[in-house]
Amino acid sequence: MANVNFALDFILVGAAIWMVLAVRGLGGIVGKTLGLITIGAIVTGLAHLLATLQHRLFPIEPTVESFIHRTVVLVGFVLLVMGFQQIRQLRA
């Protein structure tokens, strides 16, 4: 099961890269908004890969490992929210 999770981590990162390719070339506020949302998705996807690699390469206390993972995911979600807030500016 560990190998399946590792493969899924790479699929998550691949999906985030696919998002980058999908929004590439858009300019203005829409491009900036989608750029932030995409960066948030990348960070969130990388959080899972980081957690897997961290567990395999640098075994540390599980609570610290969970804290690091959740902190990286939080950063990703903050970037997502910042992008979604910019969408509100489009309506104004």
What is the gyration radius of the CA atoms in the chain, in angstroms? 15
pLDDT digits (tens, 9 = 90+) for 35-46: 888 899 889 888
- The reported pLDDT for the residue numbered 27 is 79
Domain containing 11 equals: 2-91
**Which of 84, 81, 85, 62 minimizes the C-alpha distance to 73?**
81
Res 92 pLDDT > 70: no
- How many domains does the chain fold into? 1
Res 91 pLDDT > 80: no
pLDDT digits (tens, 9 = 90+) for 20-74: 888 888 777 788 888 888 899 889 888 988 888 888 888 889 899 999 999 999 9
Q: Which two tokens stand for residue 33?
A: 């908004």
- The pTM assigned to this predicted structure is 0.78
